Amino acid sequence: MYIIAGLGNPTAQYAGTRHNVGFAVIDVLSAAYGIAVDTRKFKGLIGRGMIGSERVLLVKPQTYMNASGECLREVLNYYKEDISRLIVIVDDINLEPGQLRIRGKGSAGGHNGLKSIISQCGSQDFARIRVGIGEKNPRQDLADYVLSHFSGEEREQMDAAYSLAAKAVRSLMEDGLEAAMNLYNRKVQA
Protein backbone atom coordinates (compact mmCIF):
# COMPACT_ATOMS: atom_id res chain seq x y z
CA MET A 1 0.00 0.00 0.00
CA TYR A 2 1.16 3.54 -0.77
CA ILE A 3 0.70 6.27 1.81
CA ILE A 4 0.13 9.59 0.05
CA ALA A 5 0.35 12.57 2.39
CA GLY A 6 -0.39 16.16 1.50
CA LEU A 7 1.00 18.62 4.02
CA GLY A 8 -0.80 21.70 5.27
CA ASN A 9 -2.38 23.33 8.28
CA PRO A 10 -5.80 22.35 9.63
CA THR A 11 -8.78 24.67 10.23
CA ALA A 12 -10.69 26.85 7.81
CA GLN A 13 -8.45 29.89 8.27
CA TYR A 14 -5.61 28.13 6.39
CA ALA A 15 -7.72 26.66 3.57
CA GLY A 16 -6.43 27.81 0.20
CA THR A 17 -3.16 29.25 1.52
CA ARG A 18 0.19 28.70 -0.16
CA HIS A 19 1.29 26.37 2.65
CA ASN A 20 -1.73 24.10 2.05
CA VAL A 21 -1.01 22.99 -1.51
CA GLY A 22 -0.47 19.44 -0.20
CA PHE A 23 -4.03 19.35 1.13
CA ALA A 24 -5.28 20.69 -2.22
CA VAL A 25 -3.61 17.85 -4.13
CA ILE A 26 -5.10 15.29 -1.73
CA ASP A 27 -8.52 16.87 -2.43
CA VAL A 28 -7.96 16.39 -6.19
CA LEU A 29 -6.97 12.74 -5.66
CA SER A 30 -9.95 12.22 -3.34
CA ALA A 31 -12.39 13.56 -5.95
CA ALA A 32 -10.74 11.82 -8.92
CA TYR A 33 -10.68 8.36 -7.33
CA GLY A 34 -13.73 8.53 -5.05
CA ILE A 35 -11.74 8.24 -1.83
CA ALA A 36 -13.36 10.06 1.10
CA VAL A 37 -10.67 11.57 3.33
CA ASP A 38 -12.85 11.98 6.39
CA THR A 39 -11.76 9.43 8.99
CA ARG A 40 -10.03 10.99 12.01
CA LYS A 41 -7.15 8.75 13.02
CA PHE A 42 -3.40 9.01 13.71
CA LYS A 43 -3.62 12.80 14.32
CA GLY A 44 -4.87 13.20 10.77
CA LEU A 45 -7.68 12.78 8.29
CA ILE A 46 -7.34 9.60 6.23
CA GLY A 47 -9.11 7.77 3.45
CA ARG A 48 -8.46 4.29 2.01
CA GLY A 49 -9.02 3.35 -1.60
CA MET A 50 -7.50 2.47 -4.93
CA ILE A 51 -5.62 4.49 -7.51
CA GLY A 52 -5.37 2.31 -10.58
CA SER A 53 -4.29 -1.09 -9.31
CA GLU A 54 -2.60 0.27 -6.16
CA ARG A 55 -4.10 0.32 -2.69
CA VAL A 56 -3.56 3.76 -1.18
CA LEU A 57 -4.08 5.67 2.03
CA LEU A 58 -4.60 9.40 1.49
CA VAL A 59 -3.52 11.45 4.52
CA LYS A 60 -3.92 15.07 5.63
CA PRO A 61 -2.01 15.47 8.91
CA GLN A 62 -3.97 17.64 11.34
CA THR A 63 -0.99 18.43 13.57
CA TYR A 64 -0.04 21.69 11.81
CA MET A 65 2.82 21.75 9.34
CA ASN A 66 5.74 21.72 11.79
CA ALA A 67 4.55 18.49 13.43
CA SER A 68 3.43 16.56 10.31
CA GLY A 69 5.86 13.76 11.11
CA GLU A 70 3.92 12.76 14.24
CA CYS A 71 0.92 11.75 12.14
CA LEU A 72 2.95 9.99 9.44
CA ARG A 73 5.07 8.04 11.95
CA GLU A 74 1.86 6.71 13.50
CA VAL A 75 0.44 5.78 10.07
CA LEU A 76 3.63 3.98 8.96
CA ASN A 77 3.86 2.10 12.26
CA TYR A 78 0.21 1.05 12.31
CA TYR A 79 0.20 -0.24 8.73
CA LYS A 80 3.75 -1.63 9.04
CA GLU A 81 4.71 0.06 5.79
CA ASP A 82 8.27 0.96 4.88
CA ILE A 83 8.99 4.66 4.46
CA SER A 84 9.81 3.93 0.80
CA ARG A 85 6.01 3.54 0.30
CA LEU A 86 5.42 7.14 1.41
CA ILE A 87 4.78 9.96 -1.09
CA VAL A 88 4.65 13.47 0.41
CA ILE A 89 3.26 16.55 -1.37
CA VAL A 90 4.52 19.94 -0.13
CA ASP A 91 4.80 23.59 -1.13
CA ASP A 92 8.12 25.04 -2.33
CA ILE A 93 9.02 28.74 -2.40
CA ASN A 94 12.05 28.07 -4.62
CA LEU A 95 9.94 26.91 -7.56
CA GLU A 96 7.80 29.05 -9.86
CA PRO A 97 4.07 28.89 -9.08
CA GLY A 98 2.72 25.61 -10.38
CA GLN A 99 6.10 24.04 -11.18
CA LEU A 100 6.62 20.49 -9.87
CA ARG A 101 9.79 18.82 -8.65
CA ILE A 102 9.79 15.12 -7.81
CA ARG A 103 12.59 13.52 -5.80
CA GLY A 104 12.98 10.01 -4.43
CA LYS A 105 14.72 11.11 -1.25
CA GLY A 106 16.77 13.94 0.17
CA SER A 107 17.03 16.60 2.83
CA ALA A 108 14.21 18.81 4.07
CA GLY A 109 15.58 21.75 2.06
CA GLY A 110 14.43 24.14 4.78
CA HIS A 111 10.82 22.89 4.77
CA ASN A 112 9.59 22.41 8.34
CA GLY A 113 7.00 19.78 7.40
CA LEU A 114 9.68 17.64 5.75
CA LYS A 115 12.03 18.25 8.70
CA SER A 116 9.37 16.89 11.03
CA ILE A 117 8.82 13.76 8.91
CA ILE A 118 12.57 13.06 8.67
CA SER A 119 12.99 13.58 12.41
CA GLN A 120 9.96 11.49 13.46
CA CYS A 121 10.51 8.66 10.96
CA GLY A 122 14.32 8.62 11.10
CA SER A 123 14.80 8.57 7.34
CA GLN A 124 14.98 10.82 4.27
CA ASP A 125 14.22 7.92 1.94
CA PHE A 126 10.71 8.81 0.83
CA ALA A 127 9.41 10.36 -2.38
CA ARG A 128 8.27 13.94 -2.36
CA ILE A 129 6.47 16.09 -4.89
CA ARG A 130 7.23 19.76 -4.37
CA VAL A 131 4.68 22.17 -5.81
CA GLY A 132 6.00 25.65 -6.53
CA ILE A 133 4.32 28.60 -4.85
CA GLY A 134 6.81 31.24 -6.02
CA GLU A 135 9.30 33.37 -4.15
CA LYS A 136 8.26 35.88 -1.55
CA ASN A 137 9.03 39.57 -1.78
CA PRO A 138 12.43 40.14 -0.06
CA ARG A 139 10.80 42.51 2.45
CA GLN A 140 7.98 40.08 3.27
CA ASP A 141 8.05 37.74 6.27
CA LEU A 142 8.25 34.08 5.20
CA ALA A 143 5.46 32.96 7.55
CA ASP A 144 3.16 35.73 6.31
CA TYR A 145 3.90 34.74 2.71
CA VAL A 146 3.28 30.98 3.02
CA LEU A 147 0.10 31.63 5.00
CA SER A 148 -1.22 34.07 2.39
CA HIS A 149 -3.80 33.22 -0.28
CA PHE A 150 -3.17 33.04 -4.00
CA SER A 151 -4.34 35.87 -6.24
CA GLY A 152 -7.09 35.15 -8.77
CA GLU A 153 -4.61 34.68 -11.60
CA GLU A 154 -2.37 32.45 -9.48
CA ARG A 155 -5.35 30.33 -8.40
CA GLU A 156 -6.01 29.22 -11.98
CA GLN A 157 -2.36 28.29 -12.38
CA MET A 158 -2.37 26.42 -9.07
CA ASP A 159 -5.55 24.49 -9.89
CA ALA A 160 -3.76 23.19 -12.99
CA ALA A 161 -0.71 22.36 -10.84
CA TYR A 162 -2.83 20.38 -8.36
CA SER A 163 -4.22 18.25 -11.20
CA LEU A 164 -0.73 17.76 -12.59
CA ALA A 165 0.60 16.77 -9.15
CA ALA A 166 -2.22 14.23 -8.81
CA LYS A 167 -1.18 12.72 -12.16
CA ALA A 168 2.43 12.71 -10.96
CA VAL A 169 1.40 10.68 -7.88
CA ARG A 170 -0.15 8.01 -10.09
CA SER A 171 2.88 8.05 -12.40
CA LEU A 172 5.24 7.61 -9.43
CA MET A 173 3.33 4.50 -8.35
CA GLU A 174 2.76 2.96 -11.79
CA ASP A 175 5.76 4.06 -13.86
CA GLY A 176 8.43 4.49 -11.18
CA LEU A 177 10.51 7.40 -9.96
CA GLU A 178 12.69 8.00 -13.04
CA ALA A 179 9.76 8.03 -15.45
CA ALA A 180 7.74 10.36 -13.21
CA MET A 181 10.70 12.72 -12.83
CA ASN A 182 11.22 12.80 -16.62
CA LEU A 183 7.54 13.56 -17.20
CA TYR A 184 6.88 16.13 -14.47
CA ASN A 185 10.14 17.90 -13.48
CA ARG A 186 9.73 20.73 -16.00
CA LYS A 187 9.45 24.48 -16.06
CA VAL A 188 5.96 25.90 -16.13
CA GLN A 189 4.85 26.85 -19.64
CA ALA A 190 4.10 30.58 -19.85
| Residue type (1 letter), 75 | V
Distance CA(92)–CA(180), nearest Å, equals 18
- Give the dihedral sign, CA 112/113/119/123: negative
The question of whether 19 is a catalytic residue gets the answer yes
3-state secondary structure the chain: CEEEEECCCCCHHHCCEHHHHHHHHHHHHHHHHCCCCCEEECCEEEEEEEECCEEEEEEEECCCHHHHHHHHHHHHHHHCCCHHHEEEEEEECCCCCCCEEEECCCCCCCCHHHHHHHHHHCCCCCEEEEEECCCCCCCCCHHHHHCCECCHHHHHHHHHHHHHHHHHHHHHHHHCHHHHHHHHCCCCCC
Which of 8, 9, 14, 19 is flagged as catalytic?
19
> Mind telling me the catalytic residues?
19
